[in-house]
Structure 1
Amino acid sequence: MRCIFVLISSLLLTMAAGAKEAQRLSAEVLWKIKRVGTPVISPSGDQVVAPVTTFDLEQDKGETRLWLLSTDGDIQRPLTAVGLSVSEPVFSPDGKHLAFIGKRSDDDIKQILILPMAAPGEAVRLSEVPTGVSSIKWVGDHLYFISRIWPDKAPEEMAGRVKEEKEKKVSAYVWNALPFSFWDNWIDEQRQAHVFRIPAKGGAVENLTLRTGLKLPNWIQGAESYDVSPDESHLAIVADSKKSGTRPDFDVFLLEPGSPKARNLTLANEAPDFNPKFSPDGRLLAFNRQLISGFYGDTRRLVVHRLRSRQNTVLHEEWDRSTDGMVWAPSGGGLYAAVDDQGTRRIYYLPVGNGDPRVITDSTDFSNLSVASDGTLVGINQSFLYPPRVVSIDARNGGVERLDSFNDDLFANVDLGTYESVTFTGAEGADIQMWVHYPPGFDRNQKYPLMLLLHGGPHNAVTDTFHFRWNAQTFASWGYVTAWFNFHGSSGFGQAFADSINPDWLSRPYTDTIAAADWFKSQSWIDKDQLVAAGGSYGGYLASILLGREHPFNALVIHAPVYNLYSMLAADYSVHGVRFGEYWQSPEIYPSISPHTYAAQFKTPSLVIHGQNDLRVPVGQSFELFRTLQERGVESRLIYYPDENHWVLKPNNSLHWYGQVREWVERFAAPNRGTEASASVTK
Structure 2
Amino acid sequence: MKLIHVTLMLLIILCACNSPQSSTESGFTNKGIKLYSDKLTPELIWQLGRVGNVSLSPDKEEVLYTVAYTNIKENKSYTDIYKITLKSGKTTQLTNSAINETSVKFSPDGSKINFLSSESGSVQLWEMDLNASHKKQVTNIKGGITNYLYSPDMKHLAFTASVPLDKDIHDLYPDLPLADARIENDLMYRHWDSWEDGAYSHIFIAATEEGMISNNYIDIMKNERFDSPLNPFGGIEQINWSIDSKKIAYSCKKLSGKDYALSTNADIYLYNIEDNSTTNLTKGMVGYDLNPTFSPDGKYMAWESMERDGYEADKNRLFLLDLRSGKKKDLTLDFDQNVGTLSWSEESDKIWFTSNHEGPFQIYQVDLSSGLINQITKGRQNYTSVMPMQHQVIATKTTMNHPTEIYSINTQTGEEQELSFVNKEVLSQLKMGQVESRWIETTDKKQMQTWIIYPPDFDANKKYPTLLYCQGGPQSTISQFWSLRWNFQLMAAQGYIVVAPNRHGLPGFGQEWNEQISGDYGGQNMKDYLTAIDVMAKEPYVDQDRLGAIGASYGGFSVYWLAGNHNKRFKAFVAHCGIFNFEQMYSTTEEMFFVNFDMKGPYWEKDNKIAQNTYANSPHKFVANWDTPILVIHGQKDFRIPYTQGMGAYNTAKLRDIPARFLYFPEESHWVLSPQNGILWHREFFRWLDTYLK
Same fold (TM over 0.5): yes
In 2: Cα distance, 1:323 partner to 1:451 partner = 31
Question: Is the partner of 2:260 in helix, strand or coil?
Answer: coil
Superposed CA deviations along residues 270-311 of structure 1, whole A, max 9, x for unmatched, are: 222111111112211111111222221110011101111011
Q: Does 1:448 align with 2:453?
A: no
Cα distance change on mapping 1:169 and 1:76 into 2, 3 Å: farther
Cα distance change on mapping 1:126 and 1:624 into 2, 3 Å: same
Q: How large is the Cα RMSD of the aligned pairs?
A: 2.3
Q: Does 1:70 align with 2:88?
A: no
The one-letter code of the counterpart of 2:596 is: G
Aligned counterpart, 2:510 = 494
Aligned counterpart, 1:548 = 564
In 1: Cα distance, 2:219 partner to 2:299 partner = 21
Question: Is the partner of 1:449 in helix, strand or coil?
Answer: strand
Quote how far apart the aligned CAs of 1:615 are. 1.6
Question: Is the partner of 2:47 in helix, strand or coil?
Answer: coil
The correspondence of residues 388-537 of structure 1 with structure 2, limited to 5 A, is: 388-537=404-553
Question: Is the partner of 1:133 in helix, strand or coil?
Answer: coil
Superposed CA deviations along residues 493-547 of structure 1, whole A, max 9, x for unmatched, are: 1110110011112111110010011111111211111101100111001001101
Superposed CA deviations along residues 183-216 of structure 1, whole A, max 9, x for unmatched, are: 2122223434334345272223523522595843
Cα distance change on mapping 1:102 and 1:375 into 2, 3 Å: farther
Q: Does 1:661 align with 2:685?
A: yes
Note if contact 1:461-1:491 (Cα within 8 Å) is conserved in structure 2: yes
The one-letter code of the counterpart of 1:576 is: V
Q: Does 1:571 align with 2:589?
A: yes
Q: Does 1:583 align with 2:596?
A: no
Question: Is the partner of 2:102 in helix, strand or coil?
Answer: strand
Cα distance change on mapping 1:609 and 1:229 into 2, 3 Å: same
Aligned counterpart, 1:131 = 143
Superposed CA deviations along residues 128-175 of structure 1, whole A, max 9, x for unmatched, are: 11232223222221332221213599xxxxxxx9xxxxxx86554444
In 2: Cα distance, 1:25 partner to 1:73 partner = 32
Q: Does 1:383 align with 2:399?
A: yes
Residue of structure 1 aligned with 2:159, choices 145, 153, 160: 145
In 2: Cα distance, 1:370 partner to 1:481 partner = 33
Quote how far apart the aligned CAs of 1:21 are. 6.0
| Percent of paired sites with the same residue | 25
Q: Does 1:90 align with 2:105?
A: yes
Cα distance change on mapping 1:198 and 1:599 into 2, 3 Å: farther
Cα distance change on mapping 1:292 and 1:440 into 2, 3 Å: same
Cα distance change on mapping 1:583 and 1:650 into 2, 3 Å: same
Aligned counterpart, 1:29 = 44
The one-letter code of the counterpart of 2:459 is: D
In 1: Cα distance, 2:244 partner to 2:389 partner = 16
Quote how far apart the aligned CAs of 1:465 are. 2.1
Residue of structure 1 aligned with 2:300, choices 270, 281, 284: 284
Q: Does 1:614 align with 2:638?
A: yes
Segment of structure 1 superposing worse, 65-74 or 205-214? 205-214
In 2: Cα distance, 1:456 partner to 1:415 partner = 28
Question: Is the partner of 1:325 in helix, strand or coil?
Answer: strand
Note if contact 1:208-1:259 (Cα within 8 Å) is conserved in structure 2: no
Q: Does 1:51 align with 2:93?
A: no
Quote how far apart the aligned CAs of 1:61 are. 0.9
Cα distance change on mapping 1:84 and 1:425 into 2, 3 Å: same
- When normalised by structure 2's length, the TM-score is 0.87
Cα distance change on mapping 1:502 and 1:258 into 2, 3 Å: farther
Residue of structure 2 aligned with 1:61, choices 43, 58, 76: 76
Note if contact 1:39-1:378 (Cα within 8 Å) is conserved in structure 2: no
Quote how far apart the aligned CAs of 1:417 are. 1.5
Note if contact 2:226-2:254 (Cα within 8 Å) is conserved in structure 1: no
Quote how far apart the aligned CAs of 1:428 are. 0.7
In 2: Cα distance, 1:120 partner to 1:191 partner = 34
The correspondence of residues 35-434 of structure 1 with structure 2, limited to 5 A, is: 35-104=50-119, 106-107=120-121, 109-117=122-130, 119-139=131-151, 140-141=153-154, 142-150=156-164, 171-199=180-208, 201-202=211-212, 203-207=214-218, 209-210=220-221, 215-217=226-228, 219-220=231-232, 221-243=234-256, 244-248=259-263, 249-257=265-273, 259-371=275-387, 374=390, 377-434=393-450
Note if contact 1:35-1:54 (Cα within 8 Å) is conserved in structure 2: yes
The one-letter code of the counterpart of 1:116 is: D
In 2: Cα distance, 1:630 partner to 1:39 partner = 49
Note if contact 2:407-2:419 (Cα within 8 Å) is conserved in structure 1: yes
Question: Is the partner of 1:541 in helix, strand or coil?
Answer: helix
The one-letter code of the counterpart of 1:191 is: Y
Note if contact 1:472-1:483 (Cα within 8 Å) is conserved in structure 2: no
Note if contact 2:288-2:306 (Cα within 8 Å) is conserved in structure 1: yes
Note if contact 1:330-1:375 (Cα within 8 Å) is conserved in structure 2: no
Aligned counterpart, 1:627 = 651
Question: Is the partner of 2:44 in helix, strand or coil?
Answer: helix
Count of aligned pairs: 637
In 2: Cα distance, 1:146 partner to 1:480 partner = 46
Superposed CA deviations along residues 80-110 of structure 1, whole A, max 9, x for unmatched, are: 2321222111111221101111111x41x21
Cα distance change on mapping 1:521 and 1:180 into 2, 3 Å: same
Segment of structure 1 superposing worse, 222-231 or 369-378? 369-378
Aligned counterpart, 1:594 = 618
Quote how far apart the aligned CAs of 1:373 are. 6.2
In 1: Cα distance, 2:397 partner to 2:200 partner = 38
Cα distance change on mapping 1:465 and 1:192 into 2, 3 Å: closer
Cα distance change on mapping 1:147 and 1:190 into 2, 3 Å: closer
Question: Is the partner of 2:262 in helix, strand or coil?
Answer: coil
In 1: Cα distance, 2:352 partner to 2:97 partner = 35
Cα distance change on mapping 1:294 and 1:613 into 2, 3 Å: same
The runs of 5 or more residues in structure 2 that have no matched partner are 1-31, 171-176
Note if contact 1:216-1:225 (Cα within 8 Å) is conserved in structure 2: no
Note if contact 1:280-1:328 (Cα within 8 Å) is conserved in structure 2: yes
Superposed CA deviations along residues 240-263 of structure 1, whole A, max 9, x for unmatched, are: 245532233211122312644322
Superposed CA deviations along residues 21-44 of structure 1, whole A, max 9, x for unmatched, are: 642011121122011112111011
Question: Is the partner of 2:543 in helix, strand or coil?
Answer: strand
Quote how far apart the aligned CAs of 1:116 are. 1.2
Q: Which has the higher contact order (CA 8 A, sep 6+)?
A: 1
Quote how far apart the aligned CAs of 1:370 are. 5.0
The one-letter code of the counterpart of 1:642 is: P
Cα distance change on mapping 1:188 and 1:444 into 2, 3 Å: same
Superposed CA deviations along residues 555-612 of structure 1, whole A, max 9, x for unmatched, are: 1001110111222232222342257322223461442232112222222210001111
Q: Does 1:652 align with 2:652?
A: no
Note if contact 1:366-1:379 (Cα within 8 Å) is conserved in structure 2: no
- When normalised by structure 1's length, the TM-score is 0.89
Aligned counterpart, 1:13 = none
Note if contact 1:608-1:622 (Cα within 8 Å) is conserved in structure 2: yes
Question: Is the partner of 1:653 in helix, strand or coil?
Answer: helix
Segment of structure 1 superposing worse, 66-75 or 655-664? 66-75
The one-letter code of the counterpart of 2:603 is: Y
Residue of structure 2 aligned with 1:636, choices 631, 654, 660: 660
Note if contact 1:91-1:138 (Cα within 8 Å) is conserved in structure 2: no
Aligned counterpart, 1:675 = none
Quote how far apart the aligned CAs of 1:313 are. 0.8
The one-letter code of the counterpart of 1:319 is: F
Note if contact 2:166-2:198 (Cα within 8 Å) is conserved in structure 1: no
Segment of structure 1 superposing worse, 592-601 or 327-336? 592-601
The one-letter code of the counterpart of 2:76 is: K
